[in-house]
């Protein structure tokens, strides 16, 4: 039934491209049946197939056929996970993808009916053959906050359907880029993080893609950056995860000794955290791949330097010389990576912790270039290998 649709070849090509990319990113562990990595791949393949064919649903007959395919792909996913097909029963404690499949199946069935409802309600809408074969996929946004986004905002669909093509001149920041994309997409800006003011790009750049994808890519260049849409417009801000084990101390926490409380002036968690050299030695045994080992070491260094620099960013408001800072926080790992000029900049507060941390790592490992997307690529490779 789907094969006879004019848009089927485009959708099939899209699906195969996504499946091929998933296969290329898979690690050796993904081929071990019953493993967590194998489960992730099986569920991802299920999602890709469902996302492709859901786009073809325009009648109740196609929706029924879509639900039959979801049943079939469920069996295929079990075969990929177990190597033998769908189990008749699942023993308690045995590896299983049943809960994940059940949630995805219910979600995709509902998405099919919602699309069918829209198709039938839109009189004069172009046929599916005239729709853009590739469009923005919100499921791939890693930094978008669904919780903070208003369910009634009239700007939500503009993120998905508005395609922007523009040129950004040299000496602009990410804030400038975001504001220009927002203007092109007719999305008002409510609030943007000050972190977007750095870095300033020495070269111009071309922006070509869907508005939502572009906002998410920019947010991905900053640690803990989230973005969302309210009834007023676009918001981008640094949001520390509520479940994070790392607690960023306040200025009062850092100055406990001044107020007569015990402590050396450092955060209470310093005595319990693992020193960076020990952390790097432990990481060497987590993978035999030298490239992955180097990437893991770089990301671990970045994470530790980022924590330390955020602490110093707050503390430099009180301790305004390098000597005082180093005296108050002698156990920070970042000191070993700093030169005298770096320490002077920190004492003045002239730095962004995330950008500065990655610059230190690049200097240590001898990485050339100014593009911070290398850090994102490292993280993606480590996540694909199950190391993050």
Cβ-based neighbour number of residue 297 at 10 Å: 20
Q: What crossing angle do the helices spanning 98-121 and 60-82 adopt, rounded to 10°?
A: 160
Domains, the chain, ranges and CATH? 2-130 (no CATH), 138-238 (3.55.50), 253-384 (no CATH)
Which H/E stretch holds residue 181? helix 174-185
Q: Is 107:83 a contact under the CB 8 Å cutoff?
A: no
For tokens 């040129």, name the residue.
167
Task: Give the per-residue pLDDT at 288.
Answer: 86
pLDDT digit string, tens, across residues 13-34? 999 999 999 888 888 888 888 8
Task: Give the per-residue pLDDT at 53.
Answer: 92
Task: Give the per-residue pLDDT at 221.
Answer: 87
Task: Say whether pTM exceeds 0.85.
Answer: no
Q: Classify residue 171 as exposed, middle or buried by CB count within 10 Å of its CB (0-12, 13-18, 19+).
A: exposed
Task: Give the per-residue pLDDT at 371.
Answer: 54
Instruction: Spell out where the chain has E strands.
Output: 163-168, 172-173, 189-192, 200-201, 205-210, 225-229, 234-238
Tokens representing 198 are: 């750095």
Cα 361 to Cα 17, 108, 212, 357, 380: the distances in Å are: 34, 42, 30, 6, 17
3-state helix, strand, coil in the chain (%, to 5): 55, 10, 35
Q: Is 136:55 a contact under the CB 8 Å cutoff?
A: no
Cα–Cα nearest to 165, from 207, 221, 224: 207
Q: Which residues of the chain carry a pLDDT beneath 70?
A: 122-136, 241-272, 369-373
Q: Is 13:19 a contact under the CB 8 Å cutoff?
A: no
Tokens representing 319 are: 């301790």
Q: Is 77:115 a contact under the CB 8 Å cutoff?
A: no
Dist CA 296 CA 300 (whole Å): 6
What does the buried/exposed string (b/e) look like for 31-53 if buried means 16 or more CB atoms within 10 Å of the residue's CB?
eeeeeebbbbbbbbbbbbbbbbb
Task: Give the per-residue pLDDT at 131.
Answer: 41
Task: Give the per-residue pLDDT at 373.
Answer: 67
């Amino acid at each position: 039934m789907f094969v006879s649709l004019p848009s089927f070849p485009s959708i099939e090509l899209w699906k195969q491209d996504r499946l091929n990319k998933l296969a290329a990113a898979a690690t050796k562990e993904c081929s071990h049946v019953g493993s967590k990595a194998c489960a992730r791949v099986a569920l991802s393949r299920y999602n890709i197939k469902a996302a492709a064919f859901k786009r073809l649903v325009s009648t109740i007959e196609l929706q029924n056929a879509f639900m039959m395919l979801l049943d079939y792909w469920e069996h295929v996913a079990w075969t990929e996970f177990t190597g033998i097909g769908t189990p008749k029963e699942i023993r308690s404690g045995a590896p299983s993808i049943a809960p994940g499949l059940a949630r995805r199946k219910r979600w995709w069935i509902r998405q099919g009916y919602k699309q069918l409802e829209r198709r039938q309600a839109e009189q004069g809408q172009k046929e599916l053959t005239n729709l853009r074969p590739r469009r923005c996929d919100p499921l791939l946004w890693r930094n978008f906050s669904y919780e903070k986004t208003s369910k009634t905002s009239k700007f939500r669909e503009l993120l998905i359907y508005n395609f922007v093509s523009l040129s950004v001149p040299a000496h602009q920041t990410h804030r400038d880029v975001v504001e220009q994309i927002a203007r092109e997409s007719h999305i008002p800006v409510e609030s943007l993080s000050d972190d977007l003011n750095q870095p300033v790009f020495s070269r111009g750049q071309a922006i070509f893609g869907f508005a939502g994808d572009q906002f998410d890519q920019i947010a991905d260049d900053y640690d803990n950056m989230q973005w969302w849409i309210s009834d007023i417009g676009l918001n981008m801000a640094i949001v520390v995860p509520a479940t994070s084990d790392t607690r960023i101390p306040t200025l009062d926490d850092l100055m406990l000794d001044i107020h007569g409380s015990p402590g050396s002036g450092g955060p209470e968690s310093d005595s319990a955290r693992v020193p960076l050299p020990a952390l790097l030695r432990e990481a060497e045994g987590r993978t035999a791949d030298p490239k992955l080992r180097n990437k893991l070491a770089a990301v671990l260094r970045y994470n530790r330097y980022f924590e330390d620099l955020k602490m110093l960013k707050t503390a430099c408001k009180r301790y305004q010389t390098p000597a005082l800072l180093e005296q108050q926080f002698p156990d920070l790992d970042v000191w070993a990576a700093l030169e005298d000029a770096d320490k002077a900049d920190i004492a003045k507060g002239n730095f962004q912790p995330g950008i500065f941390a990655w610059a230190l790592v690049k200097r240590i490992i001898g990485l050339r270039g100014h593009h911070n997307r290398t850090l994102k690529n490292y993280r993606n490779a480590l996540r694909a290998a199950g190391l993050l």
